[in-house]
Amino acid sequence: MEKQVIDPSIKSIPIEIEPPKQADHGDFATNFCLVASKTAKTNPRALAETLLPAILAISQNRHPHVGGDPALENQGSLNSSLPAGEGKGWGINTQNIGNPETSPLLSAEIAGPGFINFRLNPAWAAQFLTEVLENPTTFYKPKNDNPQTINVEFVSVNPNGPITIGSGRGAAFGSALCNVLEAAGNTVHREYYINDGVNSEQMRLFAESVKAIIEGRPVPDNGYKGDYVHKTANSISTLLNFANVNSERAGDIFLKFVQDFINATDLSEYPEMPIAAEKLLGLAEKLKQADALSSDHSELELIRYFAEGSMVRSQSDDLRVFQTNFDTWFSEQSLHDSGLVEQELQHLLASNVADDAPTRTKVVFAKGGIIKEVLKEGQPIDGDVENVEGFPPQDWGGQGGVESPPLRFNGEGDQGGEVSQSTSSTIWLRSTKFGDDQDRVLKRADGRLTYIASDVAYHKDKFNRPANADKLITVLGPDHHGYIARLTAVVAAMFSDQVAPLVNPEPLTEHEALIYTSIAERNQCQAALAWAKDHLEVQIFQIVRFLKDGKPAPMRKRDGNIYALIDLINEIGETLKPDGTTEEKQQAGSDVARFFYLMRHHDTAMDFDLELATKQSDENPVFYVQYAHARICSVIDKAIEEGISLPIGEGLREGSLEYLHLLTHPKELALILKICDLQNEIARTAEDYSVNRLTTYAIELARTYHSFYDSCRVIQPDQPELSQARLALCEATRTALQAALELLGVSAPNRMDRAERPT
């Protein structure tokens, strides 16, 4: 036969190798010939027939090993652990290849329109187990050629109530995402943003609600009414009574209490402590001032500090139970106190992306993000503030000039004061220059700063955690969808003076002329926007609808109809482990809730059936997975009792893995391949953040094991070599299961209590 010449340009086409859905199509298949046929200027089948023998020349005598084939190294993670095809001949008929002990492949064949199907040599594939057993904590971590430092902010609810089951989804997703990003070789910083700015209307309302309860008045309209509000009010009430009766000593006593508490706490494990402690210490200082309680104003501050501090504490306690931990709890107010907000505001003004001109630009977009209309609105001189609910505040001083914030712990930290201290002009962020649909207020005419102003400083500061962070990921709830554009605009505006402008000599369009003053400005701003989109990724998780008695249950903090995450955890735990310790109950509850949240893609709405989660929770797939783990542990224990050695970790004995080639059963091969696949799943998850993939993987791995277990008896005293090989497979499976569950934040129990079966 004549030697075929293949167009060399097909070298640039990526090779994809996947396990086919049909088992009789082999263990792996590649569609390369289908993809490359056009480039190669031939039909797929002919290309396959030419290519197969050409591939053969690469590796006639491969040694069995696990790891990358240099020829395939750059083609993707799964592929790198696969062998290259080798053999003679081609055609529809299966070709047997190499010798049965060491050849990677049993066969390779051309099928269908031009697929090449590979059948692995199980004995060769089993060598992968050596890798697993020798490196149980790293075998599943994919190679990462471009490791990044990433700040991930998630949960970040207001300190005015417990973590709800709604926020629970963000906690589960965010924490699991961090785990996966880390496993994929990145450096991750977990961050919680405490919305404790003294300007916050919501927090003021919260404090006023607590105060009303203390004083026996009805809470304000739209105020907070839940049980926890009363609980907080009661403890403050006790404190206040004590302080009033014994004001000269109350502060000292409370101060000592707080300090003892702090001293007894390992701060490295409780990163939120400085914030909560700061608030509580502030409260103690207040109590020490004899006249502190004389004015209504101060008492509200005091109540607010206590309420916020205790809420932050209880939130962090609940999250810790939920296997959700943070490196940094960041206080919004600290940005004001340190002057960073004012500093960044000046920066924006200096960069000409913010000003106090009395107009606002609004952009109307047509479908596809095309600008349809640009409107310039004049700013009402009066009345714009009064339209806002609750304004002007009667008894609450804001910052920036009306009054100083009530307490200071970080020295001066006042508002700087170069911009209008207390009067007249609203300061606008010209966010329409950065793709937002309207300009945003940074500073109100009365001098108070908006939430966006904090955001500017916050996002700049965030890039320091980790140092010189490559990327910020912010996980937000479904009600924050409209926030993406302005947040991106904020980041773009902040760095607008630091990026290279686009090169675009096109004159300004009619619309652009209303937004930008020059071509240069447009090119600068659009470059900044591109930079921002590149460095800030907002991940929205969709709504969780809670079903109680089959009907949607409303979930609002303010009307008290609230369902706390910790209550859900406790209820599930109570059902599952009625005789367990609190810790055991919460572990079980957390496991079920986390798995439940993580089973669905974060960006799709999900129903959370409260009956199912609490009452019928043994139907939850998490038990299926955990049962597989417990079962393996049991088998291993039993095997060791029977004198079968298990080669793991430091006890790895030379030669003890020499029988792995006996693992030739189809179920054994399937299990080995599934374990091998974990690395690939993690790599993909780190790319597209679809953490739910790992729950699916865990279920499939468990199923593959159960199926193997049913077909292949592990402990067979008359076949010690096979037993040992299968035991190694069991341990490798256990290791992979444990790794997957750990990433999900779900425990991998060594044993599980049998459920009581109704008779």
Partner RNA sequence: GCGCUCGUAGCUCAGCGGAUAGAGCACCAGCUUGCGGAGCUGGGGGUCGGAGGUUCGAAUCCUCUCGAGCGCGCCA
Sites for RNA among residues 272-301 (CB under 7 A): none
Beta bridge partners of 18: 29
Element spanning 492, H or E: helix 484-494
Binding residue for RNA, selected from 101, 619, 658, 721, defined by CB under 7 A: 619
Q: Tell me if 112 contacts RNA by CB under 7 A.
A: yes
What are the tokens at 544?
């969780």
Binding residue for RNA, selected from 630, 646, 686, 725, defined by CB under 7 A: 630
User: 414 or 642: whose CB is closer to RNA?
Assistant: 642
Binding residue for RNA, selected from 623, 663, 728, 732, defined by CB under 7 A: 623
Q: Which stretch binds RNA (CB under 7 A): 274-282, 306-314, 367-375, 559-567?
A: 367-375
Residue 131, CA atoms < 13 Å, CB-side half-sphere: 20
User: Buried b vs exposed e over 372-400: b needs ≥16 C-beta within 10 Å?
Assistant: eebeeeeeeeeeeeeeeeeeeeeebbbbb
Question: In the bound complex, what is the minimum distance in angstroms from residue 372's beta carbon to RNA?
Answer: 8
Q: Which stretch binds RNA (CB under 7 A): 122-130, 141-149, 293-301, 366-374?
A: 366-374
What order of strands is seen across the sheet that includes strand 95-96?
Answer: 17-18, 28-30, 115-120, 105-111, 95-96
Strand 28-30 and strand 17-18: pairing?
Answer: antiparallel
Q: Tell me if 346 contacts RNA by CB under 7 A.
A: no
Task: Calculate Rg over the CA atoms of the chain.
Answer: 31
Question: In the bound complex, what is the minimum distance in angstroms from residue 501's beta carbon to RNA?
Answer: 26
User: 272 or 521: whose CB is closer to RNA?
Assistant: 272
Question: Which residues are within 8 A (CB) of 122 and not within 5 positions of it... i.e. 6 or more apart?
Answer: 663, 664, 665, 666, 668, 669, 672
Binding residue for RNA, selected from 10, 15, 20, 591, defined by CB under 7 A: 20
Instruction: Identify the burial level of 466 via C-beta atoms within 10 angstroms of its C-beta, where 0-12 means exposed, 13-18 middle and 19 or more buried.
Output: middle
Q: Tell me if 583 contacts RNA by CB under 7 A.
A: no
Nearest to 614 by CA among 563, 665, 658: 563
Q: Tell me if 598 contacts RNA by CB under 7 A.
A: no
Question: In the bound complex, what is the minimum distance in angstroms from residue 43's beta carbon to RNA?
Answer: 9
Spell out where 408-558 has E strands.
427-429, 440-443, 471-476, 536-540, 544-548, 551-552
Q: Tell me if 8 contacts RNA by CB under 7 A.
A: no
Q: What is the DSSP string of 122-141?
A: HHHHTTHHHHHHH-TTTTTP
Phi, psi dihedral angles at 116 (to 5 degrees): -115, 120
Residues 391-450 close enough to bind RNA by CB under 7 A: 391, 426, 437-438, 440-441, 444-445, 450
CA distance linking residue 67 with residue 82, whole number of Å: 8
Binding residue for RNA, selected from 197, 251, 405, 435, defined by CB under 7 A: 197
List the x/- string, 474-513, binding to RNA by CB under 7 A: ----xxxxxx------------------------------
User: 288 or 601: whose CB is closer to RNA?
Assistant: 601
Binding residue for RNA, selected from 45, 304, 631, 674, defined by CB under 7 A: 631
Q: Which stretch binds RNA (CB under 7 A): 60-68, 90-98, 139-147, 746-754?
A: 746-754
Beta bridge partners of 119: 107
CA distance linking residue 295 with residue 133, whole number of Å: 68
The answer to whether residues 431 and 440 touch, using CB atoms and an 8 Å cutoff, is: yes
Q: Tell me if 22 contacts RNA by CB under 7 A.
A: yes
Q: Which stretch binds RNA (CB under 7 A): 7-15, 106-114, 349-357, 456-464?
A: 106-114
Q: Which stretch binds RNA (CB under 7 A): 216-224, 406-414, 519-527, 701-709?
A: 701-709
Query: Cβ atoms within 10 A of the Cβ of 638, count?
Result: 13
User: 15 or 240: whose CB is closer to RNA?
Assistant: 15
What are the tokens at 42?
């031939």
Question: In the bound complex, what is the minimum distance in angstroms from residue 48's beta carbon to RNA?
Answer: 11
Binding residue for RNA, selected from 499, 690, 720, 742, defined by CB under 7 A: 690
What order of strands is seen across the sheet that includes strand 427-429?
Answer: 354-355, 427-429, 440-443
Residues 27-46 close enough to bind RNA by CB under 7 A: 29, 31, 34-35, 38, 44
Binding residue for RNA, selected from 699, 701, 740, 744, defined by CB under 7 A: 699
Q: Which stretch binds RNA (CB under 7 A): 296-304, 309-317, 617-625, 653-661?
A: 617-625
Q: Tell me if 537 contacts RNA by CB under 7 A.
A: no
User: 513 or 543: whose CB is closer to RNA?
Assistant: 543
Return the amino acid letter for 389: E
User: 246 or 711: whose CB is closer to RNA?
Assistant: 711
Binding residue for RNA, selected from 9, 235, 561, 711, defined by CB under 7 A: 711
Binding residue for RNA, selected from 502, 508, 513, 752, defined by CB under 7 A: 752
Question: In the bound complex, what is the minimum distance in angstroms from residue 35's beta carbon to RNA?
Answer: 5
Nearest to 273 by CA among 335, 205, 325: 325
User: 283 or 442: whose CB is closer to RNA?
Assistant: 442
The answer to whether residues 180 and 742 touch, using CB atoms and an 8 Å cutoff, is: no
What are the tokens at 549?
């008695």
User: 520 or 605: whose CB is closer to RNA?
Assistant: 605
